[in-house]
Amino acid sequence: MRILASYAPDALEGDADLAAIVHFAARLCEVRVAAVTLAGEESERFLVQQGSALGEIPREIAFCGHVIENGQMVEVRDATTDPRFAENPHVLGPRHLRFYAGHPLISSEGAAIGTLSVIDTVPRPDGLTDLQKEGLAVLAQAVMLRLSAHRKKLEVEREVEAREEMFRNLADSIPAIAWSATPEGHFDYFNQRMVDFTGLPDDQRGTAFHPEDWKKASALWQRALQTGEVYEVEHRLCRHDGEYRWMISRAVPVRDSTGKIIRWFGTAVDIHDIYEASESRELLAKELSHRIKNIFAVIAGLVSLSARQHPEAKELADDLTATIRSLGRAHEFVRPVDGARRDNLQSLLEELFAPYGSGDGARVKVSGDDLAINSRTATPLALVFHELATNSAKYGALATGEGTVTLRIADKGETVKLLWRETGGKAPKKSPKEGFGSRLVEMSVSGQLGGKWERRFEDDGLVVELALPKATIAA
> Which amino acid is residue 368, in one-letter code?
G
CA distance to 157, 223, 293, per residue, from 160 (Å):
5, 31, 64
In terms of Cα–Cα distance, which of 223, 243, 247 is closest to 233?
A: 247
More confident call, 375 vs 473: 473
Output the average pLDDT for the chain.
81
CA–CA separation, 313 and 418 (whole Å): 34
CB 244, CB 252: distance < 8 Å: no
**pLDDT (average), residues 355-381:** 82
**pLDDT (average), residues 322-336:** 53
CA distance to 242, 244, 247, 250, 325, per residue, from 275 (Å):
18, 13, 9, 17, 34
pLDDT digits (tens, 9 = 90+) for 107-140: 888 888 889 999 999 999 999 999 999 999 999 9
pLDDT digits (tens, 9 = 90+) for 422-466: 998 766 665 555 666 677 788 888 888 899 999 988 888 899 999
pLDDT recorded at residue 326: 55
The DSSP output letter for 413 is S
Instruction: Name residue 227's beta-bridge partners.
Output: none
Kindly indicate the confidence band of residue 350, based on its pLDDT and cuts at 50, 70 and 90.
Answer: confident
* Choice among 8-17, 70-79, 300-309, 420-429 with the minimum mean pLDDT: 300-309
What would the DSSP string read from start to end of 329-367?
Answer: HHHHHHS-TTS----BHHHHHHHHTGGG--GGG-SEEEE
Judged against a pLDDT cut of 80, whether residue 214 lies above it is answered with: yes
pLDDT recorded at residue 134: 94
pLDDT recorded at residue 406: 92
Instruction: Name residue 209's beta-bridge partners.
Output: 237
CA–CA separation, 373 and 370 (whole Å): 9
Judged against a pLDDT cut of 60, whether residue 332 lies above it is answered with: no
Kindly indicate the confidence band of residue 417, based on its pLDDT and cuts at 50, 70 and 90.
Answer: very high
Task: Enter the pTM of the model.
Answer: 0.45
CA–CA separation, 215 and 329 (whole Å): 39
**pLDDT (average), residues 298-303:** 55
pLDDT recorded at residue 155: 87
CA–CA separation, 417 and 468 (whole Å): 6
Using alpha carbons only, how large is the chain's radius of gyration in Å?
Answer: 45
CA–CA separation, 149 and 93 (whole Å): 38
Judged against a pLDDT cut of 60, whether residue 407 lies above it is answered with: yes
> How buried is 339 (Cβ within 10 angstroms: 0-12 exposed, 13-18 middle, 19+ buried)?
exposed
Report the largest interatomic distance among the alpha carbons of the chain, rounded to a whole angstrom. Answer: 143
Angle at 158 between CA 155 and CA 163, to 5 degrees: 125
> How buried is 206 (Cβ within 10 angstroms: 0-12 exposed, 13-18 middle, 19+ buried)?
middle
Judged against a pLDDT cut of 80, whether residue 318 lies above it is answered with: no
* pLDDT above 70 coverage of the chain, percent: 81
CA–CA separation, 56 and 28 (whole Å): 25
**pLDDT (average), residues 25-30:** 94
Kindly indicate the confidence band of residue 204, based on its pLDDT and cuts at 50, 70 and 90.
Answer: low
CA–CA separation, 36 and 103 (whole Å): 10
Count other C-beta atoms under 10 Å from residue 228's C-beta: 15
pLDDT digits (tens, 9 = 90+) for 156-170: 888 888 887 877 777
> Which amino acid is residue 6, in one-letter code?
S
Which residues in 348-386 are b (16+ Cβ under 10 Å) and which e?
bbbbbbeebeeeeeebbebebeeeebeeebbbbbbbbbb
pLDDT recorded at residue 436: 62
Which residues in 256-275 are b (16+ Cβ under 10 Å) and which e?
eeeeeeeebbbbbebeeeeb
CB 424, CB 400: distance < 8 Å: yes
* Choice among 185-194, 357-366, 431-440 with the minimum mean pLDDT: 431-440
Highest mean pLDDT among 55-59, 83-87, 193-197, 404-408: 404-408
pLDDT digits (tens, 9 = 90+) for 52-92: 767 677 877 788 888 888 888 999 999 999 998 888 888 88
